[in-house]
Amino acid sequence: MSSVPDGKKLVRSPSGLRMVPENGAFNSPFSLDEPQWVPDKECPRCMQCDTKFDFIRRKHHCRRCGRCFCDKCCSKKVALPRMCFVDPVRQCAECSLVSQKEQEFYDKQLKVLLGGGTFVVTLGTSDKSETMTCRLSNNHRYLFLDGESHFEVELSRISSMQILTDGTSPGGGTSRASGMLLHYKPMGSQDAQQLQMEAAEDKKVASLWLAAMHKAAKLLHEARDQ
């Protein structure tokens, strides 16, 4: 094991090669565990089209859901970063659509979160606010808030998240994200703390960051419920 907390190691599973943290405690909060494959003896037929398996029609397992399919129903190889696979892996039609949508988060929105946005931050019921840059840590496990002071919020300890809006966007249409209200438990405490963030200088950048954080919250919720 490496002495570097965020060190990675390459492991081989039945589903393929994965690049995972050496210490499981440092897994990304967005990550999903590999599913248990449906045993071969329990799936004599494709679980999508009901085709019977034989020497010609081989069975394949979807790497995301673990169910058993024929080649026609499980032919796509799609990137699955939430399970840390190095290469695209075989997935059924339903799972491949989900993974393709998630890829947009990893390709675009995750970069926005890592880049950060500027907000006016208020802790608890305090009357004092501070302008801070908020960004996601490189290991995706913390929100770093930097201004005159510095503190961190561990994503796994966030109990609720609400995106605040400022009405309609210019020219009409959907409302634009303008802030965020978090409830979380600081390390070593079981008491929830409130954190409110309002867009500061560059409201467009802040709005994009908040929209990306909204998507991240959905992935966090899925990971917790798996």
State whether 156 and 64 are in the same domain: no
pTM, full prediction? 0.81
Kindly state whether residue 106 falls inside one of the protein's structural domains: yes
What average pLDDT score do residues 126-149 get? 92
Decide if pLDDT at 101 tops 60.
Answer: yes
In a domain, 79, yes or no: yes
Q: Are residues 83 and 131 in the same domain?
A: no
Which residues, including other chains, have CB under 8 Å from residue 122's CB and lie 6 or more apart? 128, 129, 195, 196, 197, 198
- Tens digits of per-residue pLDDT, 181-219? 999 998 888 888 999 999 997 889 999 999 999 999 999
Please check whether residues 87 and 147 belong to one and the same domain: no
> Which CATH number goes with the domain that contains 120?
2.30.29.160
Residue 170 belongs to some domain of the structure: no
Residue 171 lies in a domain: no
Is pLDDT of 3 > 60? Answer: no
Query: What residues make up the domain containing 181?
Result: 115-165+177-223
Confidence tier at 2 by pLDDT (50, 70, 90): very low
Same-domain status, 60 and 18: yes
Q: Could you tell me if 193 and 94 lie in one domain?
A: no
Domain boundary among 110, 126, 154: 110
Residues 12 and 105 in one domain: yes
Does residue 23 carry a pLDDT above 80? no
User: Within a domain: residue 121?
Assistant: yes
The per-residue b/e assignment along 63-75, b for 16 or more CB within 10 angstroms, e otherwise, is bbbebbbbeebbe
Note whether 136 and 98 are same-domain residues: no
Which pLDDT value is given to residue 173? 58
The count of other CB atoms within 10 Å of the CB of residue 209 is 26
Number of domains in the chain: 2
With 60 as the cut, is the pLDDT of residue 171 above it? no
Query: Is the same domain home to 125 and 106?
Result: no
What confidence score (pLDDT) does residue 117 get? 94
Same domain for 135 and 85?
Answer: no
Distance, in Å, from the CA atom of 93 to the CA atom of 81, rounded to the nearest integer, reads 17
